[in-house]
Amino acid sequence: MKSVLKDAEKRMQQSFEAFESNLSTVRTGRANPAVLNRINVDYYGSSMPLNQVANISATDPRTIVVSPFDKSIMEIIEKAILESDLGFNPNNQGENIFINVPALNDERRKVLVRTTKNMAEESRISIRNVRHDINDELKEMEKENLLTEDDLRLGKEKVQEITDSFIKKIDERLKVKEADILEV
């Protein structure tokens, strides 16, 4: 039963990490290099993530600097940023591309909060699906006489505790992200 519980925790942790990764791509009012993570550029015939062809950093709360490793793809990077749904207007300064992160208006903030809430709900659903799978696995183990009824009940309780802890982590992380988005 311990291996089943470890599997549950591992799978729920993966769901939480995926949520964290998705959350980092949602922009707040401050410059955050992670918002560019989902941008891909065409690099010599293959689509590459921007962070693999350039160094991305935030120099101040309103500026992101993109420094390509290969200066010949400056225009390609600039075009990819323009075509993204982030609403950024890149400024090519020869060696680097500067992105001024505009302040968010109230309407955009509300949309971003809604987006993060949807991400959190998808993650909660994923975690509950893991709980369901693990409970089915425990029931199957009981049918095969590998667990007693008491062990099954105890196992389900432990799975629920693990589930509750990950749902709580998601809710806490969501609250922090919402505060970041709503901060003026």
CA of residue 161 relative to chain centroid, distance: 24
- The rounded mean pLDDT for the chain is 91
Query: How many C-beta atoms surround the C-beta of residue 172 within 10 A?
Result: 10
Q: In DSSP terms, which residues pair with 64 in a beta bridge?
A: 58, 99
Residue-level pLDDT at 88: 85
Closest CA to 97 of 115, 118, 79: 79
CATH topology of domain 2-24+105-182: Topoisomerase I; Chain A, domain 4 (1.10.132)
Residue extents of the structural domains in the chain: 2-24+105-182, 33-100
CA atoms within a 13 Å half-sphere pointing along the CA-CB vector of 117: 8
> Would you give per-residue pLDDT tens digits along the chain (184 residues)?
889 999 999 999 999 999 998 888 887 777 888 888 889 999 888 999 999 999 999 988 889 999 999 988 999 999 999 988 777 889 998 899 999 888 788 888 898 899 999 999 999 999 999 999 999 999 999 999 999 999 999 999 999 999 999 999 999 999 999 998 888 6
Q: Please say whether the beta carbons of 114 and 174 come within 8 A.
A: no
Residue-level pLDDT at 35: 85
The per-residue pLDDT for range 123-176, each reduced to its tens digit, is 999 999 999 999 999 999 999 999 999 999 999 999 999 999 999 999 999 999
Q: Do domains 2-24+105-182 and 33-100 have the same CATH topology?
A: no
- The CA radius of gyration of the chain, in Å to the nearest whole number, is 22
CATH top class, domain 33-100: alpha beta
Residue-level pLDDT at 180: 86
Instruction: Compute the distance between CA of residue 28 and CA of residue 32 in angstroms, rounded to an integer.
Output: 8
Contacts of residue 161, Cβ cutoff 8 Å, sequence gap at least 6: none
